[in-house]
Structure 1
Amino acid sequence: MKEYTNFDAVGLASLVQTGQVEANELVEASIARAEEVNPGLNAIVKERYDRARKEAKERRFQNEAFAGVPLLLKNLSHTIQGEPITAGSALLSHRIAQRDSHFVSRLKRAGFMMTGFTNTPEFGLKNITEPKVYGPSRNPWGEAFSPGGSSGGAAAAVAARIVPIAAASDGGGSIRIPASFTNLVGLKPTRGRIPVGPGVGRQWQGAAIDFVLSRSMRDSARVLDELQVYQKEAAFHTPIYEGSFEKQMAKAEKRNLRIAWNDRSPVGTPVSEAAKQAVRQVVRWLEAEGHYIEECGPDIEGTTLMEQYYTMNAGEMAALLSSIERDLGRSVTREDVEVETWLLRHLGDRLSAASYASSLSAWDQAKARMVRFQDTFDLYITPTTAFSAPRVGELTPTHNEVERLYESVEKSTEQLFEAVYEMFLPSLTYSPFTQLANMTGLPAISLPVYKTFEGMPLGVQVMTQAGQEHRLLQLGWQLEQSPLWEGG
């Protein structure tokens, strides 16, 4: 199918629904595109092409929303029964999924054809995708650059038009950061909107959520319609949105919005002029559309909040590796995992239950402050990332840096915590704006509205109140019709 790369997912589904193409033709087109471009990108780390071919030929569609559309899953938690899922770690090379995740089950029900799994950093811990076990993913906008992370393989696959949509997840910006770096739409829904489990209910204490990366607003809106759920057993719930996100998206707000914007890093790190310009051009456009605009931000101390985020990371990693040790019947050594995993595990082993509880309390306080801020403002706009994509290897610690990090394990807990913060600081400098939405559970979206002088993409992030994703989709749809839009 020569025109395959010209269509978004909604467009491809329409071709199947109207009998113009068969699902197996779309699967073959996606495989052909992958074989053409994936050797240079390393976006896909596990193929399931033969299974996808068989499933596409055997399935009888009944007007499913995404009938026959090829899709890639993320090699982190998007499990298919009987298939490997390694989370980007050699430590889990033996791991075979015992069942489909609820998220994958919903994607299947929507009509998607799963053609493989995409690259991710070890345990999804970084905003770049350069796991030792698979090697780095590369950015279709320049193969010397990273597509971001942790959904970097997914972003590279969509940007290279291997698939129109790829499954992704976001625990600190892992959908929005790659979207910014690769010119895609990256929505992080409200906490509790998307199915979780089985077996996992909190997903990084509510910070992480599954969704997709796409090239069009209507694709993201329709996926949200298909995936939103009220799941009784889940730890967090968001009321079902009555109506259709896709249909509501094209309807203009009946009133002018109150919009806050800020282009200063919440942790005091530098922000590029390009990222500032990206925000300001959107702000000027919104002001011309009649909306009330004010430069301000919530009263939240970003550095302290990030320390509480790393406390969660450490606790989660300690619990995960302890569970893996029980399964393996042996201790995990530093040779088994990457340095970031090793340090977080040791920090998590040392932190007290009191410090962990205090960190989650800080998350709740940040949520309360955001709610008060949102009593005044409908939308909050920032850069998605402070810079365009880093070069591959730029954020990977050198051999000497790694050795110094290993030495910090022998030091005091306070010194180890400082080492963890410093270890992630180069990455945080690139993406200081995204974690707030994860810690508060609020919806946020990265929109492809800017390119740097060198031609590299940069996204703008928009946040809104819990359960109000339709506002993000409406704004994105309006920008999609405007001269500012760079995606597509």
Structure 2
Amino acid sequence: MDELLTLDAVGQAEAVRNGQVSPREPAEAAIARIEAVDGELNAVVHRRFERALEEIDAIPADAPFRGVPILLKDIGWASGGDPYGAGSKVLDGVVARDDSYSVAKLRRAGFVILGRTSTPELATTITTEPAAFGPTRNPYDPAYSTGGSSGGSAAAVAAGMVPVATASDGGGSIRIPASMCGLVGLKPARGRSSHGPDLAESWGGLSVQGMLTRSVRDSAALLDLIAGMMPGDRYDAPALARPLAEEVGADPGRLRVGFLTVHPRGDVPEDPELTAAVTATAALLEALGHEVVQDHPEALGEHDFGMNFGALIGTNVAAELDVLGAWRGRPVDVEELEPRNRLMVTAARGISATDYLAALRWLDGYRRRMAAWWTSGFDLLVTPTMGVTPFPIGWISDDDLHTALDRSGQGAAFTSPFNATGQPALSLPLHRTAEGLPVGVQFVAAAGREDLLVRIAAQIEAVRPFEHSAIQERR
């Protein structure tokens, strides 16, 4: 069973398909693992073990991921008949009526849904410490945060509870937990998968769905699985030439790569660990034959970005309260929210429709200014995933909202711009601090070029295999 837990999702699926294990064994091993380690980590907020085991017998024998266990992030990713909490006390007792399109695709592919993972309230911060469920702890050191907002999913995958878990990313919420927990975190291009049927888009198009995994091939295969425009969706992503799974091992060619170690905006302090992570990655890319230069889009340094980006998030979260109220059958009062969200929603309600459209227009221009760098001859941008090194539980606290917001902004400084532009971005686990905590490095490609990210990530993984020591340490 221990060996089964170290396999990625593709590996577990192959073991079932080849008859090495029964379709029930991966789920049974995952359940045992959750019961053994989640008491300390607090990643899984809803367990559906009995239902999951009952559902296995109905999975078709030709389903590509037959019997592979998975956990769902508890915001978005609705699973019919299961609780839906969004990290908040306001949804206590709410049960989802139907599967989202993406969850239905996972079921059809043969995945076994074991439960739902913790997220900060309404997914609005970069640490997973909701008042409703308590903090989720990092498998590499339980005193540390997992990041957010997909922190529960990240802890579960890093600790070996499941090979993959679902996630979403509106400002860094796939990439930041991937960095904090030593995982592969691919933020897809805007429109690559559907938020339906309940939503046409999330956070005004800033947020996208994806996965947290331990291997590049899992990230590719799972995005292939959920990708695709569904009837009535607002927009689609640029078409890919072939399935991303076929890009794993494909020659990326000689790429022109720009990199930076310090944020050009000037308000994110340089950190030696982050500089070392990116510098070593640049050297690795050069050794692999790529042209690597210290360069970046000038627009990344624009100071008005945060104000306009924040206006979109705040107003969308405020509007979301009406939806949540309808789901639970009575309006949500702002006083029911955690202090961070209370402040955000109150401020957002003072933003006029005209101001909202002005923020959208500003970000439209920002997207074009950023894209110009890629059209000038660059293929990839490499940055630290986060603007801060791994931080402990409580470092971002509602007890001091000003400091909390400032620290959150620094943490997401390198990730949030690419939610605004809609470009795909990827965090790879390429560095450890002196204390042994993971640090991610971010790779950003032009619009719609997940194929290029998968190629370069697989090339790096082949020569520098990723370490996942938290699984062994917690046996």
TM-score of the pair, normalised by structure 2: 0.94
Residues 1:446 and 2:427 aligned together: yes
Q: Give the deviation of 1:288 after TM superposition.
A: 2.2
CA deviation vs aligned residue, 1:336-371 (integer Å, no higher than 9, x gap): 110111111111111111111111112211210122
**Corresponding residue for 1:204?**
203
Q: CA separation of 1:299/1:57 partners in 2, compared to 1, >3 Å: closer, same or farther?
A: same
**Corresponding residue for 1:189?**
188
One-letter amino acid of the structure 2 residue matched with residue 229 of structure 1: G
Q: Tell me, what secondary structure is at the counterpart of 1:366?
A: helix
Tell me the distance in 1 between the aligned counterparts of 2:255 and 2:293.
11
Residues 1:96 and 2:95 aligned together: yes
CA deviation vs aligned residue, 1:99-130 (integer Å, no higher than 9, x gap): 11011011112211100000000000010000
User: Bigger CA drift: 200-209 or 131-140?
Assistant: 200-209
**Corresponding residue for 2:472?**
none
**Corresponding residue for 2:320?**
320
CA deviation vs aligned residue, 1:388-445 (integer Å, no higher than 9, x gap): 32101111132xx36xxxxxxxxxxxxxxxx6xx651111222310001111100000
Residues 1:381 and 2:379 aligned together: no
**Corresponding residue for 2:57?**
57
**Corresponding residue for 2:463?**
482
Q: Tell me, what secondary structure is at the counterpart of 2:205?
A: coil
Q: CA separation of 1:298/1:8 partners in 2, compared to 1, >3 Å: closer, same or farther?
A: same
Q: CA separation of 1:329/1:152 partners in 2, compared to 1, >3 Å: closer, same or farther?
A: closer
Q: Give the deviation of 1:55 after TM superposition.
A: 0.7
**Corresponding residue for 1:146?**
145
Tell me the distance in 2 between the aligned counterparts of 1:331 and 1:234.
27
**Corresponding residue for 1:406?**
none
CA deviation vs aligned residue, 1:24-62 (integer Å, no higher than 9, x gap): 111110000000000000000000000111011332321
Trace 1:361-380 onto structure 2 (pairs within 5 A): 361-375=361-375, 376-380=377-381
Trace 1:310-459 onto structure 2 (pairs within 5 A): 310-325=310-325, 332-375=332-375, 376-398=377-399, 401=400, 423-459=404-440
Tell me the distance in 1 between the aligned counterparts of 2:213 and 2:23.
19
CA contact (8 A) 1:47 1:116 kept: yes
CA contact (8 A) 2:388 2:411 kept: yes
CA contact (8 A) 2:70 2:163 kept: yes
Residues 1:241 and 2:222 aligned together: no
Tell me the distance in 1 between the aligned counterparts of 2:323 and 2:31.
36
**Corresponding residue for 2:304?**
304
Match of 2:258 among 260, 263, 267: 260
CA contact (8 A) 1:128 1:152 kept: yes
CA contact (8 A) 1:187 1:211 kept: yes
CA contact (8 A) 1:43 1:137 kept: yes
One-letter amino acid of the structure 2 residue matched with residue 130 of structure 1: E
Percent identity between matched residues is 38
Q: Tell me, what secondary structure is at the counterpart of 1:156?
A: helix
Q: Give the deviation of 1:331 after TM superposition.
A: 5.1
One-letter amino acid of the structure 2 residue matched with residue 126 of structure 1: T
CA contact (8 A) 1:446 1:461 kept: yes
CA deviation vs aligned residue, 1:277-335 (integer Å, no higher than 9, x gap): 10011101112222222212112144311111110111112212234445666554454
Q: Give the deviation of 1:487 after TM superposition.
A: 4.9
Which residues of structure 2 form unaligned runs of 5+?
Answer: 470-475
Tell me the distance in 1 between the aligned counterparts of 2:187 and 2:155.
18
Q: Tell me, what secondary structure is at the counterpart of 2:371?
A: helix
TM-score of the pair, normalised by structure 1: 0.92
User: Bigger CA drift: 350-359 or 319-328?
Assistant: 319-328
Q: CA separation of 1:17/1:338 partners in 2, compared to 1, >3 Å: closer, same or farther?
A: same
**Corresponding residue for 1:118?**
117
CA contact (8 A) 1:129 1:151 kept: yes
CA contact (8 A) 2:94 2:327 kept: no
CA contact (8 A) 2:167 2:174 kept: yes
Aligned residues: 466
CA deviation vs aligned residue, 1:248-296 (integer Å, no higher than 9, x gap): 2211124x11111111124421131111110011101112222222212
Which residues of structure 1 form unaligned runs of 5+?
Answer: 403-418
CA deviation vs aligned residue, 1:186-208 (integer Å, no higher than 9, x gap): 00011111122112012111110
One-letter amino acid of the structure 1 residue matched with residue 320 of structure 2: L
Tell me the distance in 2 between the aligned counterparts of 1:330 and 1:231.
31
Q: Tell me, what secondary structure is at the counterpart of 1:114?
A: strand
Tell me the distance in 2 between the aligned counterparts of 1:238 and 1:194.
8
CA contact (8 A) 1:387 1:458 kept: no
CA deviation vs aligned residue, 1:158-203 (integer Å, no higher than 9, x gap): 0000000001111110000000001000000111111221120121
Tell me the distance in 2 between the aligned counterparts of 1:281 and 1:487.
19
**Corresponding residue for 2:12?**
12
Tell me the distance in 2 between the aligned counterparts of 1:250 and 1:222.
13
Residues 1:107 and 2:88 aligned together: no
Q: CA separation of 1:235/1:2 partners in 2, compared to 1, >3 Å: closer, same or farther?
A: same
Q: Give the deviation of 1:83 after TM superposition.
A: 1.6
CA contact (8 A) 2:424 2:449 kept: yes
One-letter amino acid of the structure 2 residue matched with residue 396 of structure 1: S
User: Bigger CA drift: 228-237 or 180-189?
Assistant: 228-237
Tell me the distance in 2 between the aligned counterparts of 1:39 and 1:104.
26
Tell me the distance in 2 between the aligned counterparts of 1:110 and 1:366.
38
CA contact (8 A) 1:449 1:484 kept: no
Residues 1:77 and 2:58 aligned together: no
Tell me the distance in 2 between the aligned counterparts of 1:257 and 1:2.
39
Which runs of at least 4 in structure 1 moved beyond 4 Å after TM superposition? 325-331
User: Bigger CA drift: 95-104 or 1-10?
Assistant: 1-10
Tell me the distance in 2 between the aligned counterparts of 1:341 and 1:85.
18
**Corresponding residue for 2:25?**
25
CA deviation vs aligned residue, 1:116-155 (integer Å, no higher than 9, x gap): 0000000000100000000000000000000100000000
Residues 1:134 and 2:133 aligned together: yes
